[in-house]
Copies of this chain bind each other. A is one copy, B any other.
Amino acid sequence: MIFSKATAARRAENGEWLTEVQPGWDIGGNANGGYLLALAGRAMANAAERPDVASLTAHYLRPGIPGPHRLQANVAKTGRRFTTVQGTLTGEKPVLSLVGSFTDHAETTDDRSVMLMPPIDLPDPDRCIKIEATDTFPPPVMGKVDLRLHPDDSFYDGPSGTPQMRGWVRLLDDEPLDSVALLLISDIFPPTVFNANFNVAWVPTLELTVHVRNRPVPGWLRCEFTSRFVTGGFVEEDGLMWDENDTLVAQSRQIALLPRD
């Protein structure tokens, strides 16, 4: 099932949208956090009647288990350029608590630009490590995208010591990227802390925010996820996503928990 179908939602009543967490987008049975954000984000964009995400935040309450879910959307304001929506994604119990603003990026042209950081340098995709999904590790959701990890960040033989993950990613079957797809991509790479010298098997996301700057052109996304500060039992993970035109299409930040050993 292609990504757009796996995140489809249809309108019900009372501001509710019906959607379904699909099997296969999971890590050990629990849906990937980026996939859940995309599922909720698509329904919220529909509710906002705007085609693009400008900024979306989710707090993660419980794991997402495959099956029917509903997205309750409450429009807080419809403005000239943005529509802001509060959302709750619920399966048997609430899964995500969200707030986001939606827009039409085709209307936002502005040629003022400061780029203090160029797109990261990466080897060509066929010189990176192609991640092949398995039932266990890497988890099934990794098979839903074509992900090529920078050879220096491949942690299979042990952590690099630098908590970052760099690489290329695209949807399967040349499915075009929309701004909702960037929500998936924002959490599709392995956790940066797999390259830190900690013995952690998972880092549950407390919160994930994605700012979409521009619609991506079709093709590969050039991505970088980095962590600078592990402290207080939390770690942030900052993402940058560039399209094939070297346009910055999204920034993300999540705050995650370091489980006890």
Residues of A within 8 A of B (CB): 54-55, 57, 59, 61-62, 76-77, 79, 82, 84, 86, 88, 94, 97-101, 105, 108-110, 112-117, 162-163, 196, 198, 206-207, 209, 211, 213-214, 227-236, 247-248, 251, 253, 255, 258
Cβ contact within 8 Å between B232 and A110: yes
* Chain B residues with CB under 8 A of A61: 76-77, 79, 84
> In the complex, how many angstroms separate the beta carbon of A111 from the nearest chain B beta carbon?
9
Cβ contact within 8 Å between A236 and B251: yes
Cβ contact within 8 Å between B229 and A101: no
> In the complex, how many angstroms separate the beta carbon of A76 from the nearest chain B beta carbon?
4
> In the complex, how many angstroms separate the beta carbon of A125 from the nearest chain B beta carbon?
24
- A–B Cβ pairs within 8 angstroms, 29 of them: A59-B84, A59-B99, A61-B77, A62-B77, A76-B97, A77-B94, A82-B206, A86-B86, A86-B97, A108-B232, A110-B231, A112-B198, A112-B230, A112-B258, A113-B231, A114-B163, A114-B229, A115-B229, A115-B230, A116-B228, A116-B229, A211-B234, A211-B236, A211-B255, A213-B232, A213-B234, A214-B232, A231-B247, A236-B251
- Beyond A110-B233, A209-B209, 19 additional contacts (C-beta under 8 Å) are A54-B234, A57-B209, A59-B76, A61-B77, A61-B79, A61-B84, A77-B94, A77-B97, A86-B97, A97-B99, A101-B206, A105-B232, A108-B232, A110-B231, A112-B258, A114-B196, A115-B228, A117-B229, A213-B234
Query: A249 — nearest CB in chain B belongs to which residue?
Result: B232
